[in-house]
Amino acid sequence: MEKPVHKNEIAAAAPVTATNGDTTFAVILSLSLCHFLNDLMQSLVPAIYPILKEAHGLDFAQIGLITMAFQVTASLLQPVVGFCTDRRSMPYSLAVGMGFLLVGLYLMAQANSYPAILMAAALIGIGSAVFHPEASRVARIASGGRHGMAQSVFQVGGNTGSAAGPLLAAFVVAPNGQSSIVWFSGAAVVAIAILIQVGSWYARNRPPPKAPMQRFDAGTGGAALTRGRVLFAIAVLIALLFSKNVYTASLSSYYTFYLMEKFQVSVQFAQIYLFGFLGALVLGTLAGGMVGDRVGRIPVMWFSILGALPFTLALPYADLFWTGVLSLLIAAIMASAFPVILVYAQDLVPGKVGTIAGLFFGFSFGLGGLGAGAIGLVADATGIESVYRLCSFLPLLGLLTVFLPRLDRRRPVIRR
């Protein structure tokens, strides 16, 4: 005879969402705004690479190491932060993470040596490591079940900030020099104030400290997945992130140099093109999460990785006008991948929202950082134009999507 399940047990196992099951847009929009401010400040660093290169006599490999110092630091710490907050929630850690970014930004403005620049980039990476996984968790709690929408709105804030950074760098930092970065520290103070309020909401709505991991049996409409099958699916998702983030790193870190070398345009003109590329990331991210909620995650993954291939192959041979057009298309298509990959992974391993968010945000930063470092070495050895011919084949890894199990019509069980 089956043991009856008490209502309280069902409530404990159910995922915690916003009050009354409705999407708490104020919380999601607050997180999106703070993501905007966070990534706005972070994006000032790659946007001023031409300034740092000239002022400190850096080569492309050293530029790549700056990106790697930021992104690899974030990569290593984000899974750790996510794992720790899965075990014990820390509502006010979001504000603490923004404090690290504030210190890093100030140090970057004052840095007069290459080691100081690397230290500033690492501190900015630590701030990202603390902010991203926990903010992703809070967005999911506030989603009311619309996980793709919540993640895309949250990430759109970051992409918008990343797009605005180069524009501000072109018209504020470039004319006034490296030290003018400190003017943006006020954005960090505003973000800290907002995140303290978000932390208070999270403290009232967080899951029970020892809520059991959500599990489903095959009788509820889905077949079981073995632990090995889940781990293989995670590996496929990481490979998809690799193809997306290494190519994106080739554009975001070196696009201005590419335009300046191939088409002899000014720094300001090249940064306007970079702003357009990063702006297209915003539209693609927002579309990816919302479409994924409607048609499923896997179809969006197919389109977002493999669909960019014709445009990446054509980019190295395009003139200035078509380079701008193709880069916009590539950015919008590839950007739609991340929100669906993240939500798919969180659905694949239920109950480990912070760990998965930290792992995938961490891999996102880390793969981009390693890619930027490797691309810098290739650019020094063979020229910046060869980088785009080499990277144009990366979207072929999108074919690995065929190995992912469909979770839209079945719920996962992890067999030990």
Percent of the chain with pLDDT over 90: 20
pLDDT recorded at residue 209: 53
Q: Pull the structure tokens for residue 395.
A: 């979207």
Average pLDDT of the chain to the nearest whole number? 80
pLDDT recorded at residue 70: 80
The closest of 280, 299, 312 to 340, measured between CA atoms, is: 299
398-407 pLDDT tens trace:
899 999 998 7
Residue 223 pLDDT > 90:
no
Contact 234, 357 (CB under 8 A): no
Residues with Cβ < 8 Å from 49, sequence gap 6 or more? 63, 66, 253, 256, 257
pLDDT recorded at residue 329: 95
Question: CA angle 75-80-82, nearest 5°?
Answer: 95
265-312 pLDDT tens trace:
988 888 888 888 877 888 888 888 888 888 888 999 999 888 999 999
Give the pLDDT band of residue 365 (cuts 50, 70, 90): low
Contact 99, 127 (CB under 8 A): yes
Average pLDDT, integer, range 180-188: 86
Residue 373 pLDDT > 70:
yes
324-347 pLDDT tens trace:
999 999 999 998 888 889 889 888
* Higher pLDDT pick, 285 / 411: 285
Domains delineated in the chain: 22-208+215-415 (1.20.1250.20)
pLDDT recorded at residue 23: 54
pLDDT recorded at residue 191: 93
pLDDT recorded at residue 366: 65
317-335 b/e with 16+ CB inside 10 Å = b?
Answer: ebeeeebeebbbbbbbbbb
Give the pLDDT band of residue 194 (cuts 50, 70, 90): very high
60-82 pLDDT tens trace:
888 878 877 887 787 778 888 88
Residues with Cβ < 8 Å from 366, sequence gap 6 or more? 71, 72, 74, 75, 76
pLDDT recorded at residue 15: 40
- CB count, 10 Å around CB of 244? 27
Give the pLDDT band of residue 218 (cuts 50, 70, 90): very low
Residue 362 pLDDT > 90:
no
Residues with Cβ < 8 Å from 58, sequence gap 6 or more? 52, 114
- CB count, 10 Å around CB of 398? 23
- The C-alpha atoms of residue 65 and residue 374 are separated, in whole angstroms, by 9
76-134 pLDDT tens trace:
788 888 888 777 778 888 999 999 999 998 898 888 889 999 999 889 888 888 888 88
135-149 pLDDT tens trace:
888 988 888 778 888
Percent of the chain with pLDDT over 70: 87
* Higher pLDDT pick, 243 / 6: 243
- CB count, 10 Å around CB of 267? 18
pLDDT recorded at residue 220: 32
